[in-house]
Amino acid sequence: MIKRFIFIFIFSFFSNSVIFSASLRDDFIAAAKSYLGTPYSYGGTSRNGIDCSGLIYVSAKAAGFSIQRTSKAQYAQSTKISDSERTPGDLVFFGNDKTVNHVGIFLGNNKFIHSASDGSKTGVIISSLSESYWKKHYIGTGVVINNKSYTTSQDNQKNENNSTSKGTTSTTKTKPTTKKEINNKIKNEVKEKVTQTAKKELNNFASANFNLDGAVFFDWNFFTHSNFDFYNKSWTIQGQLKTSKFKINPGILTRCIFVGDYTLVPICVSLSLNDYIDLYAGYSFNTGEASSSHLYFYGLNKEVVPARYPNYFGITLKTPKLKLADFDITLLQDISFSIYESADPKTPLTLGEMFAIGTTFSTGINFSIPF
């Protein structure tokens, strides 16, 4: 909700008046309906076979505007609206875990036209949003026609006619001759380009899904600097905010690691390579009583402190998601490494001591809230 308010507020500065073309929407729907009965074919864009996003692509082309080819790209390109704002000609998107993999054109009366790949009927058909399957996999609605960036040849002809009807003054403005007029035209073109780019980036931001994760870990190790010995090192709570729109999703991760009388607080940049692997790296601060004294570790007769450079990194392995109400639950196995230095330069840490002190295995559970 907060993200939507922020988006609407920012977008209002860049957007001009919105146009609505009923005839364009009608043409778009009519073009799609002309494909009714066409068999489904993955990657197809003809009457011999067509897939869901291909139907959108060729129908838009027939109506006189352009659109991206895949359902994911069409979702990113569209302006998201609520279900109550939905109008015939808007796109309806479906998928799994907020990942778009199907698209159709809303027709009104809770109906939509699409090219179905499986089910009792396949190919280009008309279905209902009330059907249990589509209700379960529905993601949202996007607008692709009421934006100035979508213009048709008819719209261009109307603009030319309007310009001509205003007389020679209007015609003169479209053909600048003086240096000042040329500079003004260039400035206006640059301004329009910047505005369109800003709209596109804001649309991408608005369509980016985010996940807020919270996790609890039991931290352990099975070796010290001198022998093998299983022991509990600490307890950890974690918070992470990351996107879930891209193939590799960036995020921010922070932890509170409770070790005896002190607390370590790493702040990291994270990268989710897929649904099962996260990488992270950053800097670890220490708080509590240990902030004014050096840290001691198991059986090591040396005083150590966190390194001054980025000193905390690791990898998290995750199980497949388990859905519980509005939460996604996963089990985690984490391996992290903290870099420490000897407080006394005269007695530096050996590689074995650095490895034993810095390595931590963490087993935990994660709760994820998509928004």
Do the Cβ atoms of 187 and 318 come closer than 8 Å? no
The active-site residue, picked from 52, 225, 268, 294, is 52
Instruction: Please give, one letter per residue, the 3-state secondary structure of the chain.
Output: CHHHHHHHHHHHHHCCCCCCCHHHHHHHHHHHHCCCCCCECCCCEECCEECHHHHHHHHHHHHCCCCCCCHHHHHHHCEEECHHHCCCCCEEEEEECCEEEEEEEEEECCEEEEEECCCCCCEEEEEECCCHHHHHHEEEEEECCCCCCCCCHHHHHHHHHHHHHCCHHHHHHHCCCCHHHHHHHHHHHHHHHHHHHHHHHHHHHHHCCEEEEEEEEEEEEEECCCCEEEEEEEEEEEEEEEECCCCCEEEEEEEEEEECCEEEEEEEEEEECCCCEEEEEEEEEEEEHHHHCCECCCCCCCCEEECCCCCEEEEEEECCCEEECCEEEEEEEEEEEECEEECCCCCCCCHHHHHHHHEEEEEEEEEEEEC
Residue 337's identity, in one-letter code, is F
Tokens representing residue 326 in the block: 């509005």
The active-site residue, picked from 114, 137, 256, 268, is 114
Q: Is residue 294 annotated as a catalytic residue, yes or no?
A: no
The active-site residue, picked from 102, 225, 268, 294, is 102
d(CA 134, CA 120): 14
Q: Is residue 256 annotated as a catalytic residue, yes or no?
A: no
- Please identify every residue annotated as catalytic: 52, 102, 114
